[in-house]
């Protein structure tokens, strides 16, 4: 019997079970807080209770349930805000919430010290569970909603201003397993406003979330290389123009190219050669970014994005991190610069790569002019 294998198997089962248990605890807590928030909102906002009722409820709950945590006056008010932030999703949702029965309208006099007793009377029946249902928004991130902590939810409804922003940050916090501090920093830095940036895996591959955010902000999703005029290149068919021709044009206009990317970039070379274990590698364009403190590889591709490009780029980044990166520098970053790219598809295939990479597109003068000019038939008609 292999003891080590048995331990690994049992350990994996324990960890999975613990993860499922923690998940259920989080679901139940959010359900409870939402139900309490609903109850508090419906009775306090319309003046059914006098001023100070929530403070008295909190105080008496602590008195009757020694050791109870999380039910301070401030936290109960946060539960109310939690409900009010999301009450519009309640119809047709798959979120279960613990509902405090509300057959009785609770009226608490302003000078009452028995506010929680009145609350208990109103909720003396066994708690019932009902389904909250999404109205028309089928894109609501329900899995993410149920699997981030209440503290994360608080940060989101405190700092994110709009409904769409809140949905975005819920999904982001879940996908990237963000800490509370990282989430707050991203919301305050308006990461939502940069969501249309180039498809990338920076948050997954760069442990420092602030650095990942700066890396995203450093690049655009599309660049106009207006100093590359394919009409001046002597070929019979524009499709014959390959990466080396475009690269040569960029090198001849390297100052313009750097200004296109940003002033923080320093040009290191083109067709930079590395021999690794007997295999030759040629990096199209190599830069150093002072703000990111990392080397940046730009690989030029003349046509549609292909998944194989990422494997090539990942190899270059591995070599650079082994051969060139200094101890105080951050891991190298790679950018595929191609003519066309399906953003959703790129993000999908990027998921399994462990090196920081993104994919941007470029336009040249000729293609840009084609977009601006009328169709060919219309041009002929106008000329006639």
At 226, the pLDDT band (50, 70, 90 cuts) reads low
**DSSP state letter for 89:** G
Q: What is the pLDDT, as a whole number, of residue 371?
A: 47
pLDDT at 335 over 80: yes
Question: Tens of pLDDT along 173-196?
Answer: 888 788 898 888 888 878 787 776
Architecture of domain 217-371: 3-Layer(aba) Sandwich (3.40)
272-289: per-residue pLDDT in tens?
A: 999 999 999 999 889 999
Q: What is the pLDDT of residue 332?
A: 97
pLDDT of residue 271: 86
Domain ranges in the chain are 1-137, 141-195, 217-371
Read off the pLDDT of each residue in 311-330 and give the average, rounded to a whole number: 95
pLDDT at 119 over 80: no
Q: Residue 9 — pLDDT band, cuts 50, 70, 90? A: low
- 318 pLDDT band, cuts 50/70/90, is very high
What is the overall mean pLDDT for the chain? Answer: 75
Question: Would you state the pLDDT for residue 237?
Answer: 41
Rounded Cα–Cα distance for residues 265 and 296 (Å): 9
Per-residue pLDDT, 117: 46
Distance CA 205, CA 357 (A): 9
Q: Mean pLDDT lowest for which of 74-88, 183-197, 263-277, 335-349?
A: 183-197
Q: Has this prediction a pTM greater than 0.75?
A: no
Q: Rounded to an integer, what is the distance from CA 178 to the centroid of its chain? A: 9
Of 97, 96, 116, 93, the C-alpha closest to 33 is 97
CB 171 within 8 A of CB 186: no
């Amino acid at each position: 019997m292999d003891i080590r294998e048995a331990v690994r198997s049992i350990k994996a089962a324990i960890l999975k079970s613990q993860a499922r248990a923690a998940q259920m605890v989080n679901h139940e807590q959010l359900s409870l807080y939402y139900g309490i928030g609903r109850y508090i909102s419906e009775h306090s906002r319309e003046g059914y209770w006098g001023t100070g009722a929530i403070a008295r409820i909190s105080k008496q709950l602590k008195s009757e349930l020694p050791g109870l945590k999380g039910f301070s006056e401030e936290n109960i008010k946060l539960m109310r805000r939690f409900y009010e932030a999301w009450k519009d999703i309640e119809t047709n949702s798959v979120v279960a919430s613990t509902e405090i029965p509300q057959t009785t309208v609770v009226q608490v006099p302003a000078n009452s010290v028995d506010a929680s007793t009145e609350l208990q009377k109103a909720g003396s029946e066994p708690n019932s569970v009902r389904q909250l249902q999404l109205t028309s928004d089928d894109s609501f991130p329900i899995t993410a909603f149920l699997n981030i902590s209440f503290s994360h939810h608080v940060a989101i409804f405190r700092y994110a201003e709009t409904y769409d922003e809140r949905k975005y940050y819920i999904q982001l916090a879940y996908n990237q397993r963000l800490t509370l501090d990282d989430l707050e920093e991203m919301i305050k830095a308006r990461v939502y406003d940069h969501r249309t940036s180039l498809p990338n895996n920076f948050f997954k591959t760069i442990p420092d979330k602030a650095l990942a955010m700066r890396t995203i902000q450093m690049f655009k999703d599309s660049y106009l290389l207006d100093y590359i005029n394919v009409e001046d290149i002597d070929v019979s068919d524009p499709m014959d123009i390959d990466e080396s021709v475009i690269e040569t044009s960029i090198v001849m206009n390297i100052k313009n190219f750097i200004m296109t990317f940003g002033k923080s970039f320093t040009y290191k070379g083109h067709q930079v050669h590395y021999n690794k274990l007997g295999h030759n590698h040629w990096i199209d364009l190599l830069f150093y970014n002072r703000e990111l403190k990392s080397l940046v590889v730009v690989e030029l591709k003349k046509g549609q994005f292909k998944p194989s490009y990422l494997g090539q780029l990942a190899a270059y980044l591995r070599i650079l991190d082994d051969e060139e990166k200094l101890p105080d520098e951050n891991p190298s970053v790679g950018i595929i610069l191609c003519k066309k790219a399906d953003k959703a598809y790129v993000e999908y295939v990027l998921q399994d790569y462990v090196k920081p990479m993104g994919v941007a597109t470029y336009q040249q003068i000729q293609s840009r002019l084609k977009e601006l000019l009328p169709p060919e038939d219309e041009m002929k008609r106008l000329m006639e």
